[in-house]
Structure 1
Amino acid sequence: MNKKSIIFITCISLLTSACGNKNKTNKIEKNAEKIQEANLDENKSGKYLVSNMNDETSINFVKSTIEKHLNKKNGEVFASLVSDYNKSIPKELLSGDFREPPKEDKLDKILEMRSSIKHTYPDTNCRINSLLLLKDNLSLKEDIPIDDEILFMDKEALKSSNLFKGDELEKFYKLFSRVKTSSSKDPKVHAKVMEKFLSKFNFPKDVSMLSVIINDKLDGDYLFIGHVGVLFPLDDGYLFLEKISFEEPYQAIKFLDKKSCFKYLKNKFKDYTDPEVCPPFIMENDKYVEI
């Protein structure tokens, strides 16, 4: 089995509208937001509320949140990608309103349905969607070399989607490049390496890029961003936007605080227990998150 196949299998195993009267629509949206806020307030146990943005209210809420902090056009493109993924998938398989995570795993049914329908956009992953949201609010302080060895699937999707052009593509490959590191298994040692690398980027002030860093030893000692999403502040907590993998649906998740989001990401990679490498760790922009 070649190296790319190994990386592919590893990543897969890890990462698992209508128009109406304006006043009426605004009233419905405000009422829905109040209900969502009440639900979030009741959810004091450290859990979270999740939506696949599969209705007009939830996607508009997400779009308005994005537009408060980032480029409005990018938020609209993101919403188009979400809607394109969600269309033709039965309502019962994808949530609209924010609710506690479903107890029943519907992923197999979702993937089967997704593969059977035609869609405008090719499947995209966490890295592509994160840069889509951040690209106009993220810049490089200095030039850095590109190591895109692990981005072969991203490349194929980017060629098909035409989402990024020129400097944007270059920014993508630089931000998600592999980073040379040591043979240590201590997250704090590797975190210093990633802090130095990511400090070469200017990140938005109010919005955070949350990354799960993976230690790779297939052909040397490297670090790379294995999963990533964007965290937005809300009046009563935080909103995290992510695309788990190419095939899986989009998620908008409400947390009461940042720590709850960090725990969610850590738990996502709890089964990654390769004794030969450093365990996955989390970065908020260019800072190590210790949990």
Structure 2
Amino acid sequence: MRVGVVVSDRGDWTAEAIGSGLSRQGAKAEYLDFSELAALVGPDLRFRGEGRDLLGLSALIVRDLGRRGSSDVAFRFEALSALEGSGVRVVNPPSAIQRAANKFATSVALQRAGIPHPETLVTTSLSAAEEFVAQYGRAVYKPLFGFKGRGLLLLTAEDPSPLRGLIEKSGVVYLQEFIESTAPRPRDIRAFVVDGHVAGAIFRVAPAGSWISNLARGGAPERCPTTSEIEDLAVRAASAVGAVYCGVDLIETSSGLAVLEVNGTPSGWGLHQAWGIDVGELIAGAVLRLAGGSG
């Protein structure tokens, strides 16, 4: 069975772990960089990547799509949908990747599933944004399609001035009420879900003097026991966005856990550092089962 692994960085630990897991379970892993993707629309529909016929794949696992611009990203998503429609099992499904990548879509999915989630405002209106920050005193700005903690800003009622520039630049702002964690140090919880189960969880502890806990921004992974509350919320959040595998970020509050967001193309390195858990093996097994292989 041929299984593609879409990744822009061939040194990525998670992609390598998935590929190794596929090989150990009898499948042939083929790494693909979608910067080399080509679609030919004629009497037949054909897709090629780095000289390979993508329609000959049994499955395609997306670790990251890479990007050059908005048109490029739109093409890659449409290509995933077309491949899925042509019989290639795509994981995560294109709809799930899009829903998780768009924080507004994630918030709506979580709300409809009845999952605790910070009060959130998405708006093109400067006055509405200013009112929201004034109401909560502090609010977190997140790029609508942001990742790895890049571009996060903590806005205060005393100084909401960055809002004007953010709206002028992006046209829209995504704001969440700032929730003070009840933990002794600034941190959140990353639960890694694979095929309807939590493979493990970690605390992501912010570096000294920072409130941002993303590992890519200097956060440190520490072991977090998987409680029944973590299991319930993380699995429900994964189901809400339609993901086979994902990272679910939660925060500890005085009234229990709340889900901050869902990552549809997560790294498993932090979980491996803390627990030694190989999510690549688990993802490979889940995909092979879905594609009709052993797994």
**What's the TM-score, normalizing by structure 2?**
0.27
Larger radius of gyration: 2
Q: Which has the higher contact order (CA 8 A, sep 6+)?
A: 1
Structure number with higher helix proportion: 1
Structure number with higher strand proportion: 2
